[in-house]
């Protein structure tokens, strides 16, 4: 699977809020770092947490950019009364995501 294929699959899973597909895409032990906590966890534990909280919120304006090491996904969502914008950097080896860094920003203006 190419990085472009992986990016398209990621965008589809995000749009469909398909946690099972995310599980299939990740190496279960892949490190996932998030800016909101400045901490890392495994993909498996992060996905377990998402399921425990009842799944993913709806994402809009999903855009991907393919790189030689994987891809970047930019998207937005609404959570706890706030607009959030995400930039996800995903490293791919073969047909698995082996690392993710996720930067989450709160929208501060009314835009």
CATH number at residue 98: 3.10.450.50
The H or E element spanning position 10 is helix 3-16
Contacts of 6 (CB under 8 A, 6+ apart): 25, 70, 71, 90, 92, 95, 97
User: What are 89's two structure tokens?
Assistant: 């950097």
- With contact defined as beta carbons under 8 Å apart, do 74 and 84 qualify? no
Alpha-helix runs per DSSP H in the chain? 3-16, 19-25, 43-52
Q: Residue 10, Cβ neighbours under 10 Å: how many?
A: 23
Beginning with the edge strand found earlier in the chain, give each strand of the sheet holding 39-42 in spatial order.
39-42, 31-34, 96-106, 82-93, 70-79, 59-66
111 lies in a domain?
A: no
Supply the pTM of this predicted model.
0.92
pLDDT confidence of residue 81 = 86
For 62-84, write each residue's pLDDT tens digit.
Answer: 999 999 999 999 999 998 888 99
Q: Give the residue numbers spanning the domain of 19.
A: 3-106
Query: Considering its fold, how many domains does the chain have in total?
Result: 1
76 lies in a domain?
A: yes
- With contact defined as beta carbons under 8 Å apart, do 60 and 75 qualify? yes
Which pLDDT tens digits describe the chain residue by residue (111 residues)? 999 999 999 999 999 999 999 999 999 999 999 998 999 999 999 999 999 999 999 999 999 999 999 999 999 999 888 899 999 999 999 999 999 999 999 998 865
């Amino acid at each position: 699977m190419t990085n472009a294929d992986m990016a398209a699959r990621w965008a589809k899973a995000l749009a469909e809020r398909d946690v099972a597909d995310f599980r299939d895409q990740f190496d279960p032990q892949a490190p996932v770092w998030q800016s909101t906590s400045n901490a890392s966890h495994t993909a498996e534990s992060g996905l377990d947490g998402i399921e425990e909280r009842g799944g993913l919120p709806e994402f809009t304006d999903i855009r991907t950019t393919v790189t030689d090491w994987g891809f970047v996904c930019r998207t937005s969502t609404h959570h706890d009364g706030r607009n959030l914008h995400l930039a996800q950097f995903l490293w791919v080896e073969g047909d698995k995501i082996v690392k993710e860094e996720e930067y989450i920003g709160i929208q501060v203006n009314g835009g």
